A and B are shown apart, each in its own frame.
Chain A
Amino acid sequence: KQEVTQIPAALSVPEGENLVLNCSFTDSAIYNLQWFRQDPGKGLTSLLLIQSSQREQTSGRLNASLDKSSGRSTLYIAASQPGDSATYLCAVAPLTGTASKLTFGTGTRLQVTL
């Protein structure tokens, strides 16, 4: 059974710092990996989707990498801002099946301080 782990569970950084969030998964037979952002009491917002054949994806100050063989993904946030404060979740979709049935990590709660 797929298990997804995110470390650290919480992180506090000063504004402007670059940071890395980690996501690891136990079964490398994945179709894709997706990073989400969740603000308190809100739904999930998709940030980046990496297909299993890709190594990384970039969107603005965000860069996500995928190393399927080692079961790891990282989300790099450059020049962090207070507005980046949220919980970040990663989720993997299995290789089998026609539609994604995601397995989620428990998230990293990020606080960016002034």
Chain B
Amino acid sequence: DGGITQSPKYLFRKEGQNVTLSCEQNLNHDAMYWYRQDPGQGLRLIYYSQIVNDFQKGDIAEGYSVSREKKESFPLTVTSAQKNPTAFYLCASCNAVQTEAFFGQGTRLTVV
């Protein structure tokens, strides 16, 4: 059963903490993406990776970091430098040839 798995579904962060959101795909897609969704706004791109060991900043990369050590995995770390991290985070992947994007079920991050 192919797809994208995000974990955890809910995550709570204390002030000053770093937290890591997991994203795993078994679709054999080269490209992976992290988006942030806030109420009333469209999805905004945080980081993306087109190949293992390479990634690029999106439109709102400040306060976030990523790694791409394996094709299947693209974890996102929300650092203490991100001043307003409360949001819904979505991971996506796509086949570079067809470029149809598939999404995970999201992680809701809340600062407590």
Chain A: residues with Cβ within 8 Å of the partner, total of: 25
Do A43 and B105 touch (CB < 8 A)? yes
Tally of B interface residues using CB under 8 Å: 29
Which of B40, B45, B88, B94 sits near A99, CB closer than 8 Å?
B94
In the complex the two chains form, is A105's CB within 8 Å of B42's CB?
A: yes
Do B100 and A107 touch (CB < 8 A)?
no
Chain B interface residues toward A at CB < 8 A = 4, 6, 30-31, 33, 35, 40-43, 45, 48, 50, 58, 88, 90, 92, 94, 96, 98-106, 108
16 extra A-B contacts, CB within 8 A, seeds A41-B88, A43-B104, A99-B99? A32-B100, A34-B100, A42-B106, A43-B4, A89-B43, A91-B101, A93-B99, A100-B31, A100-B94, A100-B99, A100-B100, A102-B33, A103-B42, A104-B42, A106-B40, A107-B42
